[in-house]
Structure 1
Amino acid sequence: MDEERLRDLIPGVLAALVHRGADFATAEDAVQEALIRAVETWQARPPDDPKGWLITTAWRRFVDMARSDAARQRRETLVADEPPPGAAASVDDTLQLYFLCAHPELSPASAVALTLRAVGGLTTRQIAQAYLVPEATMAQRISRAKRAVADVRWDHPGDLRTVCRVLYLVFNEGYSGDVDLAAEAIRLTRQLAASTPDEEVAGLLALFLLHHARRPARTRPDGSLVPLAEQDRRCWQRDRIAEGVAILQAALARDRLGEYQAQAAIAALHADAQTADETDWVQIVEWYDELVRLTDSPVVRLNRAVAVGEADGPQAGLAALAALDPALPRHTAAVAYLHAKAGDAATAADLYAKAAAQARNAAERDHLTLQAARLRRQPDR
């Protein structure tokens, strides 16, 4: 069994232990150890019922931990409750597990780490590498998160929107180390979509697929960024685009619009254009209007202003940007882009240089610096 399929079983296994009365923190540790045991033994002799095998093995490990715990007497009644041999129960508590990992008491960073560990099945080392922090730091973060949800009732209703926000954060981290967090977010969101018919979960999955489809064209061989308008659209993954559009259309047909569906609709319009010049910017602005209505987000307003600059001309876009806080992330870069579009190369170059100094990562900084250098070599029109 491949590693991805093995990780797909984790939510059901962990949920089964917690559903039977195991405390979350100990159960999560027990499941991790069962996974290690599976990797060691399944290649030679895979079980007929992988999920059932994992539940039984994890439960036995949990019992061992419970017996050695100082609170053994409180858990003694659980020891005799080992799951019987045979096929695993069909009850799916995956959705409740997502709720638990995205509990409101957790910070966004802790919720993301706990979701990747408990639902995604990633090791502490893998998560630490993905977030470029020491393994000990990530271990402490996950440990604190598990303690924070230790006494949360399993049947307490959770907030699906919080779960979606956590997955959105995972996806936006992209790729680093040996874990592709964008692909991991897609995998986890597929699981979530299978657990609930919610339109926004479907919209989130569609959004991820549509964005991820453009990934092969986003960077050059040297790692430098390629702006959307300059990407080789032949490299876009049309199968992902088709899947994302189909999921989005089904969600929109239910007529319960949410922010992720609106974002996915914008991504679908970009994906539908065969060339940058064919992009339907007027319709994109209309979708941004919906997003502003739904979220009233300053970042959405900034992105809308850039779209206005494409649909109605750079001066209209600059006027929309002038109404926003200049301290917004990428505000300076957006102003620079529209000045360049208006033919004011000198002003745009200075602004791109300023934006480069504000960049949040090396790839973005290098891209903005190159834009400034390119504009300084050409005269104003």
Structure 2
Amino acid sequence: MITAMWLGKHLNSNLLSVESLIAKEYSSLAASARTHYQKFQTLPNMLLVRLLQERLREEDCVRRGWILDGIPETREQALLIQTLGVSPRHVIVLSAPDTVLIERNLGKRIDPQTGEIYHTTFDWPPESEIQNRLIVPAGISEGETARRLLEYHRNIVRILPSYPKIVKVITADQPCVDVFYQALTYVQTIHRSNAPFTPRVLLCGPVGSGKSRQAALLAQKYGLVNVCCGQLLKEAMADKSKYGEMIQPFFEKETAVPSYVIMKVLKQRLDQQDCVERGWVLHDFPRDRDQACLMDSMGYKPNRVFFLNVPYDSIIERLTLRRTDPVTGERYHLMYKPPPTMEIQARLLQNPKDSEEQIRLRMEQFYRNSAELHEFYGQAITLNGDQDPYTVFEYIESGIINPLPKKVP
């Protein structure tokens, strides 16, 4: 009950129980149910289902959702509710030894004014005014609690098969706050769907964070089109297309290509049939919020965004030790892939872009804009890129396959 109340408040959702359904005003159905409940302490299945159906049709339940507390109580009720088309997305079962539950129930107290639940041991109110008005709820004696638990155990094993794959069992024999956060985490997850899904992946990160490697792995395993923005611009120049002619002066002067020109080249590539059918993985663009807004306004919205975080020292180690053999074109790394002979090592050359000064400038440029980019892509997933590439790939793969966690506004 406490966990359900906290979830309702945190998610701004409606908490529905038998007590709240029969307490509804201005409803003849609730009035007759109230009379029956006061007499027998239970409701016929059809009456309960009709009450629930009436409540779920109201605007606040449609708009803000609902949490059922203690409903359904039997398999028959569960099946009747399902025949109405009412199906919860998440089902949580709180489990604890019967001895613990009986002991807890004996200490339960209720504030008749607010309906808040307290406990003589675990959650006693500090205000004396509240303490004085607390009452002992009916039906919490040891014998009554044991009888209700026996009935619960008899019914729960028949109810749960009605909700396959969406049930989460949480141990209730722990602090209420821990139970609440486990329940909250679960209800904010979205179950995996078998519906067709075309990944549109954006990889963000500083130079040397491994974006190109991860994009290549995604393209290899899932057939996504690997779209490197820098490579696209070079290809446009090599093809001497109209966009290539626009880009060439900027490359010759080593200045930034305007965003609108980049976007024209990118649009041309993303509109091709392979990108539309197979999906794409984009890196090296956008680099700031303005470029992200431009891309979004033109309808190119990634459905997965990953930020690869790598420490400065690791990037320096990755990039400054890269070398190229001018004779064979083979690439080496002085630490991870050293040249096989001293002769080859003597002729190796370093790309000027791999100097520590150049790398530092490019990293500073990325981190100046990364906060705004992160804010723009609110559901982006941040990963530690300073790991084995295949470990990073597994995290990215998991982020693509599994639904994004639901964020509470």
Which TM-score applies when normalising by structure 1?
A: 0.24
Instruction: Report which structure shows greater RCO (CA 8 Å, sep ≥6).
Output: 2
In our comparison, the structure showing a higher alpha carbon Rg is: 2
Higher strand share: 2
TM-score, normalised to structure 2's length?
A: 0.23
Structure having the higher helix fraction is 1
